[in-house]
Amino acid sequence: MNAPTPDIDTFLAIDNLTVEYPLGRGAKVHAVTDFTAHVKRGETLGLVGESGCGKSSAARAVMQLPRPTGGTVRLDGKELTGLKGKALQAARRQFQMIFQDPIASLNPRQTIRDIVAAPLEVAGIGTKEEQTARVAEMLDLVGINPDQAMERRAHEFSGGQCQRISIARALILKPELLVCDEAVSALDVSVQAQVLNLLERLKGEFGLTMLFISHDLAVVKHVSDRVAVMYLGRLCELADAETIYRKPVHPYTRTLLAAVPEPDPEASNNHVELIPGELPSPVNPPSGCRFRTRCPYATELCASDVPELRTIATGQSVACHHPLMD
């Protein structure tokens, strides 16, 4: 895939990102293939798709956890995939990650004070007293009472509180890029709204650029400036949030959005068109367009040629031989 020319305001440039996991005997999982996206400073890019489509693998590859199989990741002009050791450790001050399971991502043996202060200790920033003061400041910022929380452990808090603590830990180094990997999917709906509002507020206060991964299309619409849709490791469609929800042009995107339940008991479900067939294996993905085995518009061209991501309207790109332009 030909990578688009980075905009002058591009802060995160992901070009032809490929992630493969070896299985032995020459087999491998094609988790992410030729993924390309450029994110402007201060923008939130939502990344959506079915479970197993490669969202989390792409996010971890951006974080160099582990390093991608191919492609490049540039943050503020700095190539990350070539960094090693202390150089990579120093660069990681600029980008941090919030994980899906808020409780499992916190060390059960450490106090909250030690958990949140860990990035400062690794980076060698401040004295013990200065670190404690910074931890208290960050906990207060995310809505956790530092006087009550500092000496307690993760199991003494709810899932929502643990995610707030994870956010405090991620932001204590004042990073510029925050990667949220299903950051609210494990929380109750009411708590999801609180955490999303918190992230939106902190985004403004810290001047964050965000990569927000989720399978919940309603959540992604709420927080994202632009949305990228993935299917079986490949990028299908990329557009601003309003456009992609109002007029999707990739058959997969359209079906994905049609399946979102409406909060109306009187609404009819007759309009939902289910995708036929099973999700193909990422070990042996289909040739050409990976969605072709389930697409009602597929032709021989779809089987022989991989569709390139191309611009079809201002701010909207699609990787499809037969985009739905009606």
Q: Give me the pLDDT at residue 185, please.
A: 86
Percentage of the chain surpassing pLDDT 70?
Answer: 93
Q: Give me the pLDDT at residue 9, please.
A: 80
pTM to 2 decimals?
0.91
Ranges of residues in the chain with a pLDDT under 70 are 1-8, 262-274
What is the distance between the alpha carbons of residues 138 and 171, in angstroms, rounded to a whole number? 8
Backbone angles phi, psi at 236, to 5 degrees: -95, -45
Q: Give me the pLDDT at residue 273, please.
A: 60
HSE of 96, CA atoms in CB hemisphere, 13 A: 19
Q: Write out pLDDT tens, residues 208-260.
A: 999 999 988 888 988 999 999 999 999 999 999 999 999 999 999 998 888 77
First to last CA, the chain: 26
Instruction: Name the 3-class secondary structure at 293.
Output: helix
What is the distance between the alpha carbons of residues 45 and 24, in angstroms, rounded to a whole number? 35
Q: Give me the pLDDT at residue 190, please.
A: 86
